[in-house]
Structure 1
Amino acid sequence: MEPPLGRRYEVAGRGLMLHRSGAGGPAVVFLPGAGLVGLDFLNVQRRAAEFTTGVLYDRAGTGWSDEADLPRTPGQVARELRDLLRAADVPGPFVLAGHSLGAFYARRYAQLFPEEVAGLLLLDPGHEDILTFMPPRVAEINERMKEPPADLTDEQLTAARVAFGRLYAEWPDEVREPLIDHGLAAYRTGTRETENFETEVYDELRGGGPLPDVPLIVLSAQAENPYWKRFMSADELGEAHEGLRRMHAALAASVPRGELRPLPGASHQYLHVERPDAVVEAIRDLLGG
C-alpha cells in the first residue's frame, strides 16, 4: 500500500515508509508515539523543513510500513531506523524527536549510536523508572490500564472521525483522509506496541548505558491525561501528574545539557498539534538557533 506522502524503502526484507523534505542538517527525525504514525507529525515536520531536513517514517508494524510482530524491543526499532536512514541516503548526525514510546526508541538509538546523534527532543516521554515517581496505588492502577480497548461502535467511530477531522484540519486533503482512515482501522496498534514495557523495554533502557553529551530538551505536557482520568480519583490524578513533572525534570537533569520545558494546556497524545510553535522552537534551539 503506497503512502499518501513519501515512499517505501526495502530494509531487511520489509518495505518501510519514509518522507523527507527540506535541505541541510542535522536532519530532524520524528519518532511517533504508540498508536501514531509519521504523518501525524506532518505539521511540525513541514515547518522544520524550512530550515533543515525533516524526516517522517513509520516503523515496521505501523502506518504504511510492512507488518511485523508486535511488540518489538527498543534495540530492534533503533537498528531498523538506522538502516532505513541509510537506505534513504539521509546523512547524519541527527536530531531525534521522539514522542512518548518514540522517546524510548530515540534514547536507545542514542545509546547504541552516540556518534550519530546531534541532539534529542523528547515529547512528553515515558521513563523506565516511572513507578518510582508515582504514588503507590498507581502500580495497581497501571495493571488495570493494560486492558485492551473494546471494539468501537458505529457511533463511536463516527464521533472519532469528526474529532480527527478537527484535529487534522490543517493537514492537506490528500493526507488527512487516509490518515483518519488509518487511525480508525489501527486503533489497537498502540496497545500492542506497549505490551513489553515491563518485560523488555524498561530493562533494555536501564542497561543500555548513558546518553551522549548532546543537547536534550524535554517538552512536558501539563494538561490532565484523559485516559488516566478514567481510572484515578482527582487526588490520585494530581499526584500522578506531579510525579510526571518530577520524572521529566530528572530526565532533563540526567545529561549536562538537558533542559525541561513545561507546556501548560498541552495534552500527552497531541502536544505537537496543540503546541507546534514550542516543538519547532525546540528544534531550532537544538540546532543552535
Structure 2
Amino acid sequence: MEKWFVFSLGITTIGLLLGMVYQRISQAADRRKYPPQGQLVDIGGFCLHLNCIGQGTPTVVMDAGGGAPSISWGLVPSEISKFTRVCTYDRAGFGWSDPNPSNPRTSQQNVDELHLLLTQAEINPPYLLVGHSLGGVNMRLYASQYPEEVVGLVLVDSSHENQMTSELWRRVKRMSWFYQVLRIVSHVGVVRLIGEMNLLPMLKDLKRDIQKYPLAVQTLFDTFKSFCYRPDYWATASSEFANINKSFEGLQSVTSLGSLPLTVLSQGSQDSQMSDERFQRWEALQLDLTKLSSNSQRIVAENSGHLIPLDQPELVVNAVRQLIENV
C-alpha cells in the first residue's frame, strides 16, 4: 500500500512538472506567434498595452467589456481611424497587458491606471470615450473624474449600477469561483490542453458563434484563445467579477455628467440566455443612462444582442463620428 502511494505520488509529480513545462514552452511560443499591436507602456512596475492608429482630434479612447481584451472591438477601431485618432488598450491582466495582482480589479483601479497610461504615453486630451458593457462603467467613471479632458461619451450596451439582482449576483460569484479553478489548473497546461481539444465551454461556444462574422474578425479567435490559456487572464477575470459590486458602488455618486454629449447605444435583439423579464429590465436601465446628461440620445441596435461591436460595428462607428461632428 505504501509503495503504491509513493508510486502514485511520483507519477502525479512528474505529470505536474511536465504540465508546467508544456505551459511555459507553449506560452513563450504564443508570445512569438501573436506579438502585440502598438506599444507596451510602463506605468510603474508593470506595462499596459496601448494601440493608437489614425490622426485627428479628439482622440477616441475605447475600453472593452468585462473579461475582454481590446481585440474584442473587432473592426470598429480601424473604421474610426479613417477620420480621427483612436486608441484601444488592454486593462491590466488582459490581452497583451501585464497583470497587476496587488490591487483588486475595480472600475476605480482601471480609471487610475488608464489616466496614468494616457499621461505616460503622452496621449493628450481632449478624449472621446467609448465603453462597452463593463467598460462603459469605467468610462463613465473616468468622464466624471476628469471632465476637463472629456468632450463626449459613447456607452455601448453599458452595464448599469442597478442591474444586479440576487440571481445575477449568485451567477457572478459562481463564475468568479470557476475562474479561480481555471487559474490554478492553467499553470500546469490543463486549460490549454482542453482548449486545444475544443472542450473548454466558453471557447467552444465562441468558436461556433464567431463564424458568422467577417474573416478579419474570425482570425482574432486564435489570438484571444492564447490569452485565455494564461493563468493571469483567469485571475484578473475572477477579480473583476468578484469586485463588480464595488465598481458599481463607485457610480452611485455619478448621477449627472452635466451637458456632456452622450450617446447610449443599446441592444435591440434579445440574447438567447436572457428572459423576457431581464430584457425588459435591461431596456429600462439603458433608458435610465440617458438621464446622465442633458445632451444625450439613445440608439437601439435592432439587429444586435449584447455584442454590438461585432454584430453592428457600423453603429458604433457612426455614433462616434456624429459626436465628433457635433463637438
Indicate whether the TM-score tops 0.5.
Answer: yes
Amino acid at match of 1:140: S
Hey, what does 2:9 align to over in structure 1? none
Match of 2:263 among 214, 217, 228: 217
Q: Distance in 1 between matches of 2:278 and 2:98?
A: 36
Match of 2:321 in 1: 284
Q: Does 1:141 align with 2:162?
A: no
Name the one with the larger helix percent.
2
- Residues 217 and 54 of structure 1, relative CA distance in 2, 3 Å threshold: same
Q: Of 114, 124, 149, which aligns to 1:91?
A: 124
CA distance in 1, matches of 2:279, 2:271: 8
| Residue 72 (structure 2) pairs with residue 29 (structure 1) | no
1:197 pairs with 226, 229, 244, which one?
244
* Pairs within 5 Å for 1:106-121: 106-121=139-154
Q: List per-residue Cα deviations over 1:61-114 (Å, max 9, x = no partner).
A: 211111122642222211211111122221211111001110110011011100
Query: Does the CA contact (< 8 Å) of 2:94 and 2:227 recur in 1?
Result: no
Calculate the TM-score normalised by the size of structure 2.
0.75
Per-residue CA shift, 1:13-46, capped at 9, x if unaligned?
A: 2111000110011011110111211122141000
Aligned-pair CA distance for 1:253 = 2.4
* Aligned residue number for residue 59 of structure 1: 91
Are 2:48 and 1:16 equivalent residues in the alignment? Answer: yes
Return the offset for 1:287: 0.3
Contact between 2:105 and 2:236, CA under 8 Å: does it hold in 1? no
**2:278 corresponds to which residue?**
240
% identical equivalent positions: 28
How many Å apart are 1:225 and its aligned residue?
2.9
Partners in 1 of 2:106 and 2:199 — Cα distance? Answer: 32
Which residue is equivalent to 1:156?
A: 199
Question: Is the CA contact (8 Å cut-off) linking 1:125 and 1:248 kept in structure 2?
Answer: yes
| C-alpha contact 2:104 2:240 (8 A) present in aligned 1 | yes
- CA drift at 1:6: 0.9
For structure 2, the residue ranges without an aligned partner over 5 or more in a row are: 1-30, 183-190
Conserved 8 A contact 1:253-1:259: no
SS at match of 1:119: strand
Paired residue type of 2:324: L
Q: Residues of 2 paired with 1:172 and 1:247: CA distance? A: 32
Unpaired stretches in structure 1, ≥5 consecutive residues: 132-138, 229-236
CA contact (8 A) 1:28 1:95 kept: yes
Superposed CA RMSD in Å reads 2.5
